[in-house]
Amino acid sequence: MNLKRAVFGIIDVVCKVVLVVIAVMFIIKAVHYAYDVGEEMFDQKPIAPMDTSVVTVTITGSDSVMDIGKQLEEKKLIKDSKLFWVQERLSVYHDMIGAGTYELSPSMTADEMIQIMAAPTVEAKKNQAAMQEKENTAKSSSDGQAAGEDDPPADEGDDTAGMGNGEADDEPGAETENGEP
């Protein structure tokens, strides 16, 4: 009976040690992968820094960021489409990549490519903001004119009525800015 307990105890310890070793190896592998992804994301390097060739990429309105990443990976512009997806998500240009045909190079980083592909959207937003500003300015100036028509007349005792334009007030004995009656 004691022999059976000893054998099962040894088997139990061996199984636990094997599980711990597997867990540690998995953790080491995950940390190594996370480090590599972080390095690729934050210390971006182009695929071919000296290659100035131009590759034409066409994006349709229905392409997702993952589709765009796969297309860039197939054309050897980026290393990993999933990493491209994460970079776009964390970019200031998130959800701004627009449909169109772009000329990209293997000497560009992923951020540079995202910036180029988002340029039409950024430009459109700037134009839209400028148009909105013009509309707001025109509306406020037309509101100001309309409000001026409905303003009540100045109080008769108001010293500023008629000042600044060289005209005398309606009050008898009022003088202009020059001191003349």
Here the tokens at position 139 are 């509306």
* 70 to 6, 15, 62, 77, 84: CA distances (angstroms): 57, 42, 14, 10, 9
Tens-place pLDDT, residues 61-113: 899 999 999 999 999 999 999 999 999 999 898 988 988 899 999 999 999 99
Tens-place pLDDT, residues 88-99: 999 898 988 988
Tell me the pLDDT band of 6, cut-offs 50, 70 and 90.
confident
Q: Do 155 and 163 touch, CB atoms closer than 8 A?
A: no
Residue ranges of domains in the chain: 1-43, 55-128
Q: How many CB atoms lie within 10 A of CB 162?
A: 17
pLDDT of residue 151: 52
The CATH class of 55-128 is alpha beta
pLDDT of residue 153: 53
pLDDT of residue 127: 75
**Global pTM exceeds 0.75:** no
Distance between CA atoms of 43 and 71, rounded to whole angstroms?
A: 22
- Provide the mean pLDDT of the chain: 80
Calculate ∠ Cα 121-124-128, nearest 5°: 140
Tens-place pLDDT, residues 125-175: 777 778 888 888 877 776 655 555 555 555 555 454 444 444 444 445 555
